Amino acid sequence: MKSTHTRTSPPAALLVVLVMAASTVSALEPVEPVSATEAFELPQPEADEIIAYGPDARQYGELRLPDGEGPFGVAVIVHGGCWLSAYDQGYMAAFAEAVTALGWATWTIAYRRVGETGGGWPNTFLDAAAAVDHLPELAASHPLDLDRVVTVGHSAGGHLALWLAARPRLAETSPLYRPRPQPVGGVLALAAAADLEFLSAQESCDNAATLLMEGTPLDHPDRYADGSMMGMVPLGLPQILVNGELDDTWSAPADRYYLAAAAAGDSVEKRIMPDAGHFELVIPDSVHWDVVRKALVDLGQALADN
């Protein structure tokens, strides 16, 4: 089905204050990363459509379509926030607008999180899977190209973005297994919380990984085998990992995954965003956001070449 959908471009002045401030900082002064509070207070442009993929209140996605008739490749955008109910997808809205402006249809998914009814193991994983598996139904009424689907996630969402690409490897006996999962052709993982065993041991983000899995790796080795990325390589598809230069906390789990994936023979790259902390990666007006933009372009080209 063809569409003549038109949209308003994201505001060019978004975060202009932050950009101007960054441009005037002396090279001798330390760069102060954007805080979580600042990131969550950014403008949140509305989606074109909000569509349910399941009966629960958190089982929905935000769909945005580029200008033109399509069909468009789909970027499934997965928000972070340590898998906790205190955080939702709102802070990713401007990011989704920017990705859509690059020519991708974007499907920003909500899911049940730790601290709310049904959140945590296994439903956080199953919700993310159900949201992606809803794409064929969306394609029946929207101009989507399901041969070009990538997952794009930030922080805890980076972990889920990688997991969504890896889940065809799950055994049929796994509680996370679902038949005929929607294929994913590539992953862009931003500050990915990919190594759950490491995060559990470090008790990072108020011990969020242990809460997500409802126990440690010693308590539930089978859950970590199915839900952490360290034992799920190789994925067999292109992956680009981006971390902020100043993001010490979340670089370690991404680096550990990168080494494991590379050792397994995966097509995986690691890129660094200069002068960036954790949140600049998803703020399109960040001074060095071109690192993320180029990663998206390169990932799209990798899909076209395969």
Residue 92 confidence (pLDDT) above 80? yes
Q: How many CB atoms lie within 10 A of CB 260?
A: 19
- List the single range of 33-47, 125-139, 217-231 with lowest mean pLDDT: 33-47
pLDDT at 1 over 60: no
Q: How confident is the model at residue 8 (pLDDT cuts 50, 70, 90)?
A: very low
Q: Tell whether the model's pLDDT for residue 5 goes beyond 90.
A: no
Q: What are the distances in angstroms from CA 141 to CA 55, 129, 135, 137, 282? A: 20, 20, 10, 7, 29
Contact 35, 111 (CB under 8 A): no
DSSP annotation of 111? -
Stretch 211-228: mean pLDDT, rounded? 98
Poorest-pLDDT segment among 28-37, 224-233, 258-267: 28-37
What domains sit in the chain, N to C, each tagged with a CATH number? 29-305 (3.40.50.1820)
- For residue 10, pLDDT beyond 60: no
Q: Where residue 32 falls among pLDDT bands split at 50, 70, 90?
A: confident
Question: Given this model, what pLDDT does residue 30 score?
Answer: 64
Report how far residue 193's alpha carbon sits from residue 82's, in angstroms, rounded to the nearest whole number.
8
Q: What is the chain's mean pLDDT, rounded?
A: 91
Give pLDDT tens digits for 59-82: 999 999 999 998 999 999 999 999
pLDDT at 13 over 50: no
Whether residue 115 contacts residue 79, with contact meaning beta carbons closer than 8 Å, is answered with: no
Is 223's pLDDT higher than 50?
A: yes
* 4 — pLDDT class (breaks 50, 70, 90): very low
Q: What percent of the chain is modeled with pLDDT above 70? A: 90
pLDDT of residue 193: 97
Rounded to two decimals, the pTM is: 0.90
Q: What is d(CA 240, CA 34) in angstroms, rounded to the nearest whole number?
A: 23
Say how many CA atoms lie within 13 Å of 155 toward its Cβ: 26
Mean pLDDT of 167-175: 96
pLDDT (tens digit per residue) in 252-268: 999 999 999 999 999 99
Distance CA 126, CA 242 (A): 25
Residue pLDDT, tens place only, 190-205: 999 999 999 999 999 9
pLDDT digits (tens, 9 = 90+) for 97-147: 999 999 999 999 999 999 999 999 999 999 999 999 999 999 999 999 999
- AA identity, residue 170: L
Cα gap 52→71, rounded to integer Å: 22
pLDDT in tens, 277-302: 999 999 999 999 999 999 999 999 99
